[in-house]
Amino acid sequence: MAWLSTITFDQLAISFLTLATIRGAMVQLLPDDIAGPGGWLVDTGAE
């Protein structure tokens, strides 16, 4: 449990920004049936 105290705010912020960037890229680049409205990997929810 001591490893948990070594995680900094900056590391968490970079992780969230990285995930948001990857998700945005997936929505833009992958076909809609995979990442888009009703997609099985990323469902954007917009019909």
- Give 10-residue mean pLDDT values along the chain (47 residues): 88 97 92 88 80
Query: pTM (2 decimals)?
Result: 0.73
Q: What is the pLDDT of residue 1?
A: 79
Sign of CA dihedral 18, 21, 23, 29: negative
Phi-psi region of 8 (alpha: psi -120 to 50; beta: other; left: phi over 0): beta
